[in-house]
Homo-oligomer: A and B are copies of this chain.
Amino acid sequence: MIIHKAEENYLKAIYSLTTAGNSEVGTNILAEHLSTKASSVTDMAKRLAEKNLIHYTPYKGFRLSDAGRDIALQIIRKHRLWESFLVEKLSFKWYEVHEIAEQLEHIQSEMLTNRLDEFLGYPKFDPHGDPIPDKNGVVAKLNTIVLSELEIGESAQIMGVKDSSAPFLQYLESQQLVLGTRLSLVERFPFDQSLKLEVNRQDTLTISQLVSKNLVVQRL
């Protein structure tokens, strides 16, 4: 069965919107996520249901079928492997790679994907700290929290981001908050929930709640 690029993008979007809590996605939310219109989503939903890639009852939202989830995971695998390639081998910055990986994730060749994986040394995480599904679609689970959940005095290491927009990633880099950076929480200001951090055991830095809610860390 041929799965088109647009279909792959829908499956990927449904996947990321459903794993974030809710098990069903609505038409409007999906439309917004894909920068398209609700009617187009309904259109596509019929095609995907026809191909047994999603479960769909009109007015009731969509849910991935097992086949649909498999495809979504393979796309995500390819996306994250290519992002790793771009950063590790071609010296791209982590905030420059998303759009290119959006294109590369649709290249069809299992052999290519697996060779790339091998070439990169079977990485478990991409440059944003997101886990890379293996060739069977198995995703490594990680004991991570968002920085805003850290307690005063605790230390943590930056593992990734919730928001991977270029402006946010550039901001992080300007503050030396890159992947792997170690930090500890010095103080929380109740007024606006901003946080004072000690970074790399030397500098201190204050960040807003918006930032702390979008930074994924692992307790040390």
A interface vs B, CB < 8 Å? 86, 89-92, 96, 99-100, 103-104, 107-109, 111-112, 115-116, 119
Complex contact B92–A103 (CB within 8 A)? no
Q: Roughly how many angstroms separate A91 CA and B109 CA in the complex, as a whole number?
A: 15
Given the complex, which residues of B lie within 8 Å of A96, measured CB to CB? 111
This chain's copy number in the assembly? 2
Q: Which of B103, B111, B116 contacts A107 (CB 8 A)?
A: B103
Other than A92-B111, A104-B104, give 9 A-B pairs with Cβ distance below 8 A.
Answer: A86-B112, A90-B116, A90-B119, A92-B115, A96-B111, A99-B109, A100-B109, A100-B112, A103-B107
Interface centre among A100, A107, A112 (most CB of B within 10 A): A112
Given the complex, which residues of B lie within 8 Å of A109, measured CB to CB? 99-100, 103
Which 3 A/B pairs are nearest by Cβ-Cβ distance? Answer: A90-B115, A103-B107, A100-B109
Name 19 interchain pairs, CB-CB below 8 A, sorted by A. A86-B112, A89-B119, A90-B112, A90-B115, A90-B116, A90-B119, A91-B115, A92-B111, A92-B115, A96-B111, A99-B109, A100-B107, A100-B109, A100-B112, A103-B107, A103-B108, A103-B109, A104-B104, A104-B107
Q: Which B residue's beta carbon lies closest to that of A104?
A: B107
Given the complex, which residues of B lie within 8 Å of A103, measured CB to CB? 107-109
